């Protein structure tokens, strides 16, 4: 490990596989390779939305984005579901049959163990929480639901403050995009 640090794999990120609607890694070594990349590029991390959350940019090779742009021909499916049993369900929309695209930009989201609190699933100082891969270089805001979960400190969220402009930009961005389904 370049930085001599062990980065754990939180159970939450393990849902991000080839068969999910989420971004994922298909390269050799699975999550072990992903955490090794997080360690290797740790010194390039930027501060996330709060202290104890880091966004680590890594090479996009082997990653696929679950985000797809919606057109008038896109078949959509809505479900009412929770991400985890302890969370409140919400309306989730996916593009039926959409193919994930190779990522052009990837950030690995790491949370420090003390920030995760009871949501930590390893004893590591940092845990991989999400693979944020996108098919363009364009900045991608969190989904409005994720922002609301954080802002309101709902189950599964971690307290964060957002401006009205940040909420508006997220709504505008996600009004034409959904996850591949």
Cβ atoms within 10 Å, residue 53: 18
Task: State pLDDT tens for residues 79-128.
Answer: 999 988 888 899 999 999 999 999 999 999 999 999 999 999 999 999 99
What does DSSP assign to residue 157?
-
Task: Return all residues near 4 (Cβ < 8 A) that are at least 6 apart.
Answer: none
Question: What is the token pair recorded at 158?
Answer: 């971690």
Whether the CB-CB separation of 63 and 102 falls below 8 Å is answered with: yes
Starting from the edge strand earliest in sequence, which strands make up the sheet with 67-69, in order?
A: 67-69, 177-180, 90-95, 76-81
Q: Where do the structural domains in the chain lie, given as residue ranges?
A: 7-180
Task: State pLDDT tens for residues 46-64.
Answer: 999 889 999 999 999 999 9
| Domain 7-180, CATH among 1.10.3720.10, 3.30.2310.50, 3.90.180.10, 3.40.50.720 | 3.30.2310.50
Which of the listed ranges 2-16, 28-42, 138-152 does the model predict with the highest average pLDDT?
28-42
Residue 4 has pLDDT above 70, yes or no: no
SS3 category, 148: helix
Residue 15 has pLDDT above 70, yes or no: yes
SS3 category, 131: strand
Cβ atoms within 10 Å, residue 92: 18
Q: Which of 18, 29, 3, 19 is nearest to 110 (CA)?
A: 3
Q: Which H or E element spans position 58?
A: strand 53-58
Q: Specify the pTM.
A: 0.80
């Amino acid at each position: 490990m370049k930085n001599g640090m062990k980065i754990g794999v939180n159970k939450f990120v393990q849902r991000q596989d080839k068969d999910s609607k989420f971004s994922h890694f298909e390269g050799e070594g699975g999550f072990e390779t992903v955490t090794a990349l997080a360690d290797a590029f740790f010194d390039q991390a930027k501060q996330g939305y709060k202290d104890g959350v880091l966004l680590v940019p890594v090479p996009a090779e082997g990653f696929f984005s679950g985000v797809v742009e919606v057109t008038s021909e896109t078949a959509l499916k809505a479900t009412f579901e929770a991400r985890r049993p302890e969370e409140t369900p919400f309306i989730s929309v996916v593009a039926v049959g959409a193919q994930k695209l190779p990522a052009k930009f990837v950030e690995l989201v790491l949370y420090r163990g003390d920030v995760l609190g009871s949501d930590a699933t390893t004893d590591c100082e940092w845990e991989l929480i999400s693979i944020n891969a996108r098919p363009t270089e364009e900045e991608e805001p969190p989904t409005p639901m994720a922002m609301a979960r954080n802002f309101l400190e709902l189950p599964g969220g971690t307290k964060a403050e957002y401006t009205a402009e940040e909420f508006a930009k997220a709504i505008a961005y996600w009004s034409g995009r959904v996850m591949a389904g």
